[in-house]
Amino acid sequence: MKRTFDDIDFKVDGGESTKEATARALELFKEVMNEKQKTTLFVTHGNLMTLILRYFDPKFGVGEWSRLTNPDVYQIDFQKKNVSITRLWNEQKTNW
């Protein structure tokens, strides 16, 4: 996983690179943002969510990915040219 964050062009056979996955996610993200809804909910897995968050804030990386919980909820606010990211809710894993 670390390698995919360090080398965004790296991909395993049959997979996609970090660069490709980010582009795919952002294409949908930008398409939805051009619509008139004020609030949109995206549901995804942790790796792709981290790539989206990383696009808006480069501090998100493999370390932040490794600290995600399941579930985890982030809010991305777009105010003019400013973007803010807030972790709204997370659930710590429970040992059964």
State the greatest distance between any 2 C-alpha atoms of the chain, in Å, as a whole number. 46
What the block records as the tokens of 18 is 């970090």
What the block records as the tokens of 85 is 């990211």
Position 25 scores a pLDDT of 94
Q: Where does the pLDDT of residue 61 fall: very low under 50, low under 70, confident under 90, or very high at 90 and above?
A: very high
* pLDDT over 60 at 90, yes or no: yes
d(CA 33, CA 35): 5
Cα 36–38–42 angle (5° rounding)? Answer: 100
| Mean pLDDT in residue range 37-63 | 91
For residue 89, list its beta bridge partners: 73
What the block records as the tokens of 33 is 């943002």
What rounded mean pLDDT belongs to the chain?
A: 88
Q: What percent of the chain has pLDDT over 70?
A: 93
Q: Where does the pLDDT of residue 6 fall: very low under 50, low under 70, confident under 90, or very high at 90 and above?
A: very high
Q: Contact at 8 Å (CB) between 19 and 9?
A: yes
Position 16 scores a pLDDT of 95
d(CA 21, CA 54): 12
* pLDDT over 50 at 96, yes or no: no
